[in-house]
Amino acid sequence: MALVTISDPRSPASEAYRSLRTNLSFYSLDAPLRTLVVTSPAAGEGKSSTVANLAVTMAQSGRRTVLVDCDLRRPTLHELFGLAMTPGLTSLALDETVDLPLQETSVENLWLLSSGPKPPNPADLLGAARMGRLIDQLLERADFVLFDAPPVMAAADAAILGAKVDGVLLVIQAGKTRRDHSERARELLEKANVRIIGATLTNAPQDRSMREYYG
C-alpha cells in the first residue's frame, strides 16, 4: 500500500481522492458529515489505503483530521505512516483515564489513533458505550474523523461501528470485488440500520487522456 497523495500529489489518483473529498464535503449541507467509517465487502480490496489517502486530502484542505485504526484484527495504518501501533484505541478501552494517544503524522492537520494491542473480542470493544464517548472526544479535537473498519463480510465490526457514526463508505475494487459480495455487504449494513453514504471504485483502468493531462 502507498500514500499516493503524499508521494505523487499531482497524479490522477491523488486528484481522484480530492474529488472524493469534495463529494463527501457536499454530501449533506444541512447535516455535514464529520464521522465516517470506510470498509469493503471482503478482504484485500484497498479500504485501508483508501481511508488513509482520503484522510491526507482532508488534512491538506485545512481540516483537522483524525484517522482511527479500528481494524483491530489486521491493523495497518501505523505501518503506512511509519508510526507506533501502541498505545492506541484498545489502550483506552483498558484504561479510560489514559489521555488520547494521538500521534502526529508527517501531514499537517492529520493525527493517527492507532489500533493498540490486539484485543480478544474486537466487536465487543467497538460496540461498547466507551466507543461512543471516544467518538465525542475525537470530535472535540477534530473537524473530521475517519475510521478504518474490517471488511463487512469478515466480521460484524463495521456494522457495529457504522451505527455510531454519520455514515459508511464502501470500497469496491475493479476486477476483484464480486457483485454478490457487494450486494451482501449492503444488505448486512442496512440490516444494522447503518447509513450507507455510497461506494468508491478503486483500481479502475486509467483513461489515456487523463494520463496525458497530468503529465
Mean pLDDT by 10 residues, the chain (215 residues): 88 93 83 93 94 97 97 96 95 80 97 94 91 94 97 95 96 92 95 94 67 43
Angle separating helix axes 12-25 and 47-60, nearest 10 degrees: 70
Domains of the chain: 46-214 (3.40.50.300)
Given this model, what pLDDT does residue 208 score?
53
Q: Is the backbone of residue 47 left (phi > 0), alpha (psi -120 to 50) or beta?
A: alpha
The dihedral over CA atoms of 98, 101, 102, 104, expressed in degrees to the nearest 10, equals 140
**Residue 169 and residue 197 in contact, taking contact as beta carbons nearer than 8 Å:** yes
What is the C-alpha to C-alpha distance for residues 196 and 138, in angstroms, rounded to an integer? 22
For the chain, how far is it from start to end, CA to CA, in angstroms? 23
The dihedral over CA atoms of 204, 156, 92, 119, expressed in degrees to the nearest 10, equals -100
Q: Report pTM.
A: 0.92
- Residue 160 CA, chain-centre distance (Å), reads 15
Given this model, what pLDDT does residue 167 score?
95
| Bridge partner residues of 148 (DSSP) | 38, 69
Given this model, what pLDDT does residue 98 score?
75
Given this model, what pLDDT does residue 92 score?
86
